[in-house]
Each structure stands twice: as C-alpha cells, then as structure tokens.
C-alpha cells in the first residue's frame, strides 16, 4: 500500500502483530487506483450521508496520544535502505 507524505512517497505494511514497516516508495509512479476509489467513496458517502459523521471523543483522543507518545519521527531524515 502507498500513502502520500508531506515530503515524498512512502510505502507501509501493517504487520499481524500491529507493527508498521515504512519504506521509501522508490520508482512509484502515479496514484494508487484503489486508494483513489476508496477516497472517492468516502467523499461521496460524506456528502450523501453527513449524519453518519462523528467526531472522536476525548477518551479515544487520549488513547491515540498514549499509543504514539514515545514515537520519534524525523520527516527530514532519509529512510533506511534495509527492507526496501
């Protein structure tokens, strides 16, 4: 799967244990058609059924913060060559 990042393209793989592997998406061209279709579906569903939209509550926001509090990310650092 590929996702756009602020300073380029990355590839990510979610492991069965919940870990996430990131790698530079070298040589990737064009947009991901499946992701594009999914985003179009979401946009259409939000426009058609705005009543389905929900904000996240303070408890979930706190849980998310606790899960990533020790994550250190340097978006300007080059990605490691291993695993590409």
Return the ∠ at Cα 9 (arms to 24 and 41), rounded to 5°. 130
- Supply angle C-alpha 55, 11, 78, rounded to 5: 105
Can you give the residue ranges of every domain in the chain?
Answer: 2-51
Confidence of residue 3 (pLDDT cuts 50, 70, 90): very low
3-state secondary structure at position 32: coil
> pLDDT tens digits for 64-75?
999 999 888 888
CA–CA dist 42, 73 (Å, integer): 28
pTM: 0.39
In this predicted structure, the answer to whether residue 63 has a pLDDT above a threshold of 90 is yes
């Amino acid at each position: 799967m590929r996702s756009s990042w602020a300073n380029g393209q990355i590839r990510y793989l979610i492991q069965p244990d919940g870990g996430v592997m990131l790698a530079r998406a070298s040589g990737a061209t064009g947009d991901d058609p499946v992701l594009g279709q999914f985003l179009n579906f979401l946009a259409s569903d939000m426009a058609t059924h705005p009543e389905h939209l929900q904000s996240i509550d303070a408890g979930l926001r706190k849980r998310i913060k606790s899960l990533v509090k020790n994550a250190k990310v340097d978006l300007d650092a080059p990605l490691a060559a291993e695993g590409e």
